Structure 1
């Protein structure tokens, strides 16, 4: 199977893409699904997890889980998702296709634009859950949560965990791929809050906005009620 990206020594973060980093519970939380759902998908598609239901996921596996979750929320049947992944792995020779290709969703089916598949007529789309069958209709519903980097084989390198309106991101090049806001891990912000610091003090130290601090705390499960309200000095 073709490896997605090279592991050039001048970009060490590339090597971390395949290291088990995210616990199943974390992956489930980020994708908005249950850990049991991640385990169930693993039983169907044996490559979501590394060593069984309790193993950690790599960044590549995390994005695969996130994309499958997005497909399921869009109403795509699991059998169509599996058929798409089988097509992309066997025909397009990608080990982690859901972390690489910009799939579109329409009428519970999955598609790729012609510019992503060699030998396909320009302007058409490939129905990937039907073995690569050509289609000509306009397809809408492209996944918006992911930013793809053409310099690195189209890899999904930025995941907007709560949608484009949220500043919370996962980027494997920054903070070792932990959820962060403007380069600061959300768990670090929560740790400072738990230590008794105000949101304004935290914002000043990390040179981010107070609203950014509040978004990070909400992501970490802090409602603002634990110390009465968020304090602004």
Structure 2
């Protein structure tokens, strides 16, 4: 998760412990992660929630407001993963979400309608299903072919629509094989091979 999102491992572990497993999961006993240390694992929706949490913090929203909003949105969206929906927006102060009638609603206890310009969703790297829940993540961006898809390879990064792990491509390249050779044996385009290699260079 830390490598995919480009976050320090210590921060990821701390956030899982302090926010997801304490604040977010306490009421309904939802468990967002399992294991400890290097064996710590989590699920795809928590990965997307981390991305959303980070984007909100990066835009100046306080952790206290985020925790408060998460609890409210759990009830509104009837899911333990409200930050993995396509409706989350922010104005740099409050956490906002799109209401059923298209209004922007403040995610606080009063759920007051806020008169404000609709903001561009910050989840450009995420594909959502018909229920507005995240179903694919593009860690580089949509122009590149590295994909996190929970339905393929247990959510590990893969190349495009294939089941080929980006790590496999990178390990071959690191072991001395040429990009051209890797592309030929796996029937990948030069861009796909380059994306897989660059992804792991960035994540390293």
TM-score for the superposition, normalised by structure 2: 0.81
Q: Give the CA RMSD over aligned residues.
A: 2.2
Q: Is the 8 A contact 1:125 1:134 kept in 2?
A: yes
Q: 1:109 maps to which residue?
A: 94
Q: 1:161 maps to which residue?
A: 139
Partner SS for 1:104: strand
Q: 2:7 maps to which residue?
A: 33
Deviation at 1:57, TM superposition (A): 0.8
- In the alignment, structure 1 residue 63 sits paired with structure 2 residue 42: no
Of 181, 185, 189, the match for 2:169: 189
Cα distance in 1, alignment partners of residues 142 and 93 from structure 2: 23
Q: Which runs of 4+ in 1 moved over 4 A?
A: none
Structure having the higher Rg: 1
Query: 1:114 and 1:49, CA in 2 relative to 1: closer, same or farther beyond 3 A?
Result: closer
Query: 1:43 and 1:62, CA in 2 relative to 1: closer, same or farther beyond 3 A?
Result: same
Deviation at 1:44, TM superposition (A): 3.2
Q: 1:225 maps to which residue?
A: none
Cα distance in 2, alignment partners of residues 204 and 71 from structure 1: 42
Cα distance in 2, alignment partners of residues 165 and 77 from structure 1: 31
Deviation at 1:70, TM superposition (A): 2.0
Query: 1:161 and 1:107, CA in 2 relative to 1: closer, same or farther beyond 3 A?
Result: same
Deviation at 1:171, TM superposition (A): 1.0
TM-score for the superposition, normalised by structure 1: 0.72
Cα distance in 2, alignment partners of residues 102 and 171 from structure 1: 20
Q: 2:19 maps to which residue?
A: 44
The number of aligned residues is: 188
What does the per-residue CA deviation read over 1:153-185, in whole Å, with 9 as the maximum and x for residues that have no partner? 322011111223332211112232111222221
Q: Which runs of 5+ in 1 are unaligned?
A: 1-26, 116-121, 223-233
Deviation at 1:130, TM superposition (A): 5.4
Cα distance in 1, alignment partners of residues 107 and 99 from structure 2: 11
